[in-house]
Amino acid sequence: MLKDEHIELRKSVEEFAREVVAPVIGDYYERGEFPYEIVRKMGAMGLFGLPVPEEYGGMGGDYFALCLALEELARVDSSVAITLEAAVSLGAMPLLRYGTAEQKERWLPKLASGERLGAFGLTEPGGGTDVPGGMRTTAVLDDGQWVINGSKAFITNSGTDITAFVAVAAITAREGRRPEISTIIVPSDTPGLTVSKKYSKVGWSASDTRELSFTDCRVPEENLLGERGRGYSQFLRTLDEGRVAIAALSVGLAQGCIDESLRYARERTAFGRTIGGFQAIQFKIADMEARAHTARLAYYHAAERMLAGLPFKKEAAIAKLVSSNAAMDNARDATQIFGGYGFMNEFPVGRFYRDAKILEIGEGTSEVQRMLIARELGMDA
């Protein structure tokens, strides 16, 4: 059962998505432009501070509130939803969990208001699944500063005009075969940090994704996030949480496909009747509803365990796996229901189709989710 405050939040984000995002996002998407004005309005609503305590300018809510907001946004558009997801779950949450008092005071109020965005740099051009095997970025202490060299690939929110920093996972020592990994906060204006131009992407076209390179990039020793050598366990925790959020976003996309299909099936006619009268279309929509419903229950359950302080790794992986499948399947079916118009960018379902695929890749591929589930069942890695 949702609490009253969750129901109210869901309603206000649903209205915002319908009235503010829906009318304009298609144009941003076509232009591949970051929607600063929408992000500013999301900030004014408090969405970037949902799970951040009030003492840091947040709303003092919980992570489930963030998930509900992501679901409602993604019903209409995934670019704005992933901008929020990455900013909060990958940008603000690690700072909240591991940051020093000074780091939190310096960064969190601006992140919570949406005035600035934090990014999380884990993936490298040589590999995102095999971390630390594919990691080459290093950070060496020299005269009270970390000197960072290397590169990161596909980093969300890392090159906007309002990006505050990238939290970079880097190898800080090598002991035998195992590298020591630590997380270091690199402010976006640091000399030696080069932000590449935006990738041309299949989907999420109104979101910001960049490759970053670090050449003798120096930041103060105090920019270490949490304990030295704890980077690996930090990002495992961050990704477990992030998977619940991505699951919520995926459910939103799956639901958006149902919303659009129901509307279209009632309007479009063929053979003298609305296409919604054909059982073939009804069955498609019934399957879409069943997928979205079960995926929603899966992410609610994972979030509930997480907030209760119970182990939730397996539940988060299940939620991410089934909800990204649901999003892909629903996007395919919705596009089919729209016929030729489904292939036209003027209809949201075309955007949903392009946005669905990444959900099976980002924050751990579907193969990774299966590996995590199998491991939690006691099977050897």
Ligand X SMILES: Cc1cc2nc3c(=O)[nH]c(=O)nc-3n(C[C@H](O)[C@H](O)[C@H](O)COP(=O)(O)OP(=O)(O)OC[C@H]3O[C@@H](n4cnc5c(N)ncnc54)[C@H](O)[C@@H]3O)c2cc1C
Task: List residues binding ligand X (CB under 6 A).
Answer: 86, 90, 120-123, 127-130, 154-156, 201, 204, 209, 358, 361-365, 367-368
β-bridge mates for residue 151, sequence order: 213
Residue count (the chain):
381
Nearest distance, CB of residue 322 and ligand X, angstroms: 17
Q: Select 204 or 300, whichever has its Cβ closest to ligand X.
A: 204
Beta strands at 178-187 and 224-225: parallel, antiparallel or unpaired: antiparallel
Helix, coil or strand: residue 122: coil
180 a catalytic residue: no
- The active-site residue out of 222, 363, 367, 376 is 363
Quote the least distance from Cβ 150 to ligand X, whole Å.
Answer: 13
Rounded alpha-carbon distances, angstroms, from residue 32 to 11, 37, 57, 78, 203:
28, 14, 31, 13, 10
Give the Cβ contact number of residue 293 at 10 Å.
15
Is the Cβ–Cβ distance between 376 and 317 less than 8 Å? Answer: yes
Q: Which residue has the tokens 């490298």?
A: 124
Q: Between 238 and 261, name the residue whose CB sits nearer to ligand X.
A: 238
Write out the two tokens for 349.
Answer: 């379902």
Whether residue 38 contacts residue 20, with contact meaning beta carbons closer than 8 Å, is answered with yes
Query: Of the two residues 248 and 281, which places its CB atom closer to ligand X in the complex?
Result: 248
Whose CA is closest to 72, among 5, 29, 16, 8?
A: 16
Minimum CB separation from ligand X for residue 61, in Å? 23
Q: Which is nearer to ligand X, 137 or 330 (CB)?
A: 137
Min CB(290)–ligand X separation in Å? 26
Residues assigned a catalytic role? 363
